[in-house]
Chain A
């Protein structure tokens, strides 16, 4: 009895985990984050870093730092399109994005 409950619970977690991944992929944050991969590829280039493997917190911190810094790249301009809350949402999506190309 206990075993069956545990199995059901585990099954529930797996299913909700999958649902969660699908739901995240279809959120507003996901559609805002979708733009990023146009420049930030699977591997880093000479000037544009890859975002793969970074934690949500690291991405968020870098985006917030970019907003405050006085650089003159396209990203330094585009970052001003996003609120702090949007940046957190985008960072969360990017950190989860471990899929293959």
Chain B
């Protein structure tokens, strides 16, 4: 037996000598490289390793900590500590994922290689891009990274969240906050309206004369009837909303002068929360997987890019409409994509499935509403299952809003434990 093996090995070595540039007989372990350690990328890395322990899974992430956007509106309202939503990657490393701290700046799809800032490269057999969103400052005159230091977006959690919180605390008793909402699609569709609700709950207790004006680039919004009903009931006329057709679209900002311009009006609020227009993260553009919309078209069974083979895109950067860009969607897509990848590594075709999403929004700190949907995946699309789509009832039985706040807290605990814990 031993002798036989040695002879085989010798034969293999002899054969390999005839094939220059080929590795020796043993097949190298497949390499899966993931860029981006948010709800999509971190979940994917973890599940891919669990489903295929024999493969190498590398996660490239620029930061050593992840600060979650979900629940960050509670931080802005002073109801939650940022530390309660800050996570690291130690559990992923313990699960066998190779976590590489670095910024992926380019992808060579032909060589199947990711290049990091500093010049080093990482080879892949399959690549998953989960870069989240990047701001499209070109689409809002005057807005920039620096401008966000004066007019925070707080749409990527962390320092921006704290900045907006401080501004809200420091503003005058009868101050005005403007929230500027970009044209859809953007990350977390109900987020701006939850933010207005929680800011209003803070003002109700601390600055009863303060006002919130939402300047919206859209005509309608997620859970609109529920939000507007709650605003009236809980906050009177504290929150005003102007749709795009009601001169709500902010077209230019002047951060130094704290001015925002719509087509016909100029506003000079005390706090300007300017959420910029968005597109897929930069690496998706470098890799050639984003289309003219700025987002990434994917095959709905495998999340493989429709523009580049062997590159998959999940989470906010992917076009999965009517699935919204949410942490719940990102986590669900990651698990489905991980199964599809495990099948592909075994030479099996990916299959259709049913994906789901739920977005909870707080109306005040212990009261929440939800919207949910389920999606049948077909070859090239995500089809909403209408029987499962819907939101919380407008007329709620006693205790339902409080129970949904418990659901929201339980969801956050479960999803962050699964992703980072």
Contact = CB atoms under 8 A, between A and B. Distances in A.
Contacts of B340: 31
Given A37-B418, A47-B407, A80 B336 contact: no
B288 to A, nearest CB: 28
Contact of B415 (A26, A39, A46, A80): A39
A33 B50 CA distance: 16
B417 A42 contact: yes
A94 B336 CA distance: 15
A74 interface: yes
Nearest to B415: A38
Interface in A70-85: 72-74, 77-82
A90 to B, nearest CB: 9
Interface stretch (B200-208, B218-226, B397-405): B397-405
A55 B210 CA distance: 54
A34 interface: yes
B335 A31 contact: yes
B351 A31 contact: yes
A35 B335 contact: yes
Contacts of A32: 353-354
Given A41-B414, A48-B411, A74-B358, A34 B385 contact: no
B316 to A, nearest CB: 16
B410 A38 contact: no
A7 interface: no
B250 interface: no
The secondary structure that dominates the B interface is helix
Contacts of B415: 38-39
Contacts of A37: 335, 414, 418
A80 B387 contact: yes
Interface residues of B, number: 50
A26 B403 contact: no
B372 interface: yes
Interface in B387-421: 387-390, 392-393, 396-397, 400, 403-404, 406-407, 409-411, 413-415, 417-418, 421
Interface in B304-353: 328, 331-332, 335-336, 339-340, 342-343, 346, 348, 351-353
A45 B406 contact: yes
A45 B413 contact: yes
A30 B51 CA distance: 11
Interface string A46-61: 1110000000000000
Contacts of A35: 332, 335, 354-356
A78 B356 contact: yes
B413 A26 contact: no
Contacts of A74: 358, 360, 370, 372, 404, 407
Given A34-B332, A41-B414, A73 B354 contact: no
B393 A72 contact: yes
Contact of A73 (B51, B343, B407, B421): B407
Contacts of B385: 80-81
10 contacts: A25-B339, A28-B351, A32-B354, A34-B335, A46-B409, A47-B406, A74-B407, A77-B389, A80-B387, A101-B91
Interface of B: 47, 50-51, 91, 328, 331-332, 335-336, 339-340, 342-343, 346, 348, 351-356, 358, 360, 370, 372, 374, 376, 385, 387-390, 392-393, 396-397, 400, 403-404, 406-407, 409-411, 413-415, 417-418, 421
Q: What are the 6 closest A-B residue pairs judged by CB atoms, nearest first? A: A45-B410, A81-B374, A41-B414, A81-B388, A34-B335, A47-B406
